[in-house]
Structure 1
Amino acid sequence: MAQLEANPWLRFIAKIIFSAGISVGAWVFFERLNRGYGPVGLLLVSMVWVRLFPRDILNLFSFIKRSAYHSAVHHWHGKYYSFDGRQIRFYLIEQTVWIPVVDLERVLVPKIVKHELQFLEEQHGKIPEHSMIGVTEAGLLMLLKTRTEGGHTNYKMIRFKRWLLTQALENVKRLPKSAIKNLR
């Protein structure tokens, strides 16, 4: 008995075994009373589970909520900006800003074509330390040059370029070194 009080894991396992035994017993008892009433026995015995595991049940729900939040937004956390409601991630790696092509495809008009990316050469490729394909800041400005100058000017792309140069890139570059480590 002293071991149960000293070790919380043993106490937890003992409570699980006790609750499982009561649950099986209730299922069998109610099934014998009337076939198909086993779930009613489990429902009645659930009060034992709630009484024995209140903190564990609350922690389980908290864990589920944290896990859902983490899986939904963690990969974006601290790495993105939003333009017209579309999220764009920025990675500052060795003083070079990288932007994933997937994020740019949601914003750029007209869509990025394969030969445009080939034209960028070393300004395009796998983002260091990540598994995504991206373009550097210079590569993105080259892509925007064709979309904002000349006869095919698009007002949305002019706004995007202005936002990029005045807000997003400035903020990414001036982050303190401690924040840069957290972005990776």
Structure 2
Amino acid sequence: MKVLLINGSPHEKGCTYTALQAMVNTFQDEKVQADVFWIENKPLYSCIDCGKCSQLSRCVFQDRVNEFLAIAGDYDGFIFASPVHYAGATGALTAFMGRAFFADLHSGKNRFYLKPVAAVVSARRAGTTAAIDQINKYFLWGHMPVISSRYWNMVHGQTPEQVLADVEGIRNLKMLAKNMVWFLRCKEAGKQAGVELPDYNR
């Protein structure tokens, strides 16, 4: 089993990375491979609705979105994480997700279909739940079961050290990772028992 954690921060190893790393450690303890994919801090186009993805099976813009799509199909679950900017996810992450989900839909690759997913946000103080709601909408549109913890998936702090000091936040993210592992194991057990994916044509 493999989980891909997408770091939507402009800082490769800042607060958002620190939150994700706590989950990576938990996944590894549970014998699940966990990799972090940083979207980087270069400009990212938003979707221009050109329709080329239906022909190319990827986005027309050659950047981190296509690098992500090239490996996404190999993963069983996803975590999308963002710092909070003006009570929302970063513009870069929303541009990234918009193009990734749109290109996947129109390419027919089904890289995300019924794969578990969760949103994680990092903030100095406020705007966290609004950002989580924003990110979750991509998953609900994309046929993805959303995994929860016992509270909202967030950490607080202005530095990585302050994030690590958010004991409750880190604990909730570790619980989130364990819940995703449990779901993945249930899904695999169902597959082994002959439980098929939904047939929407009947």
Q: Same fold (TM over 0.5)?
A: no
Q: Which has the higher helix share?
A: 1
- RCO (CA 8 Å, sep 6+): is it higher in 1 or 2? 2
Q: TM-score, normalised by structure 1?
A: 0.26
Q: TM-score, normalised by structure 2?
A: 0.24
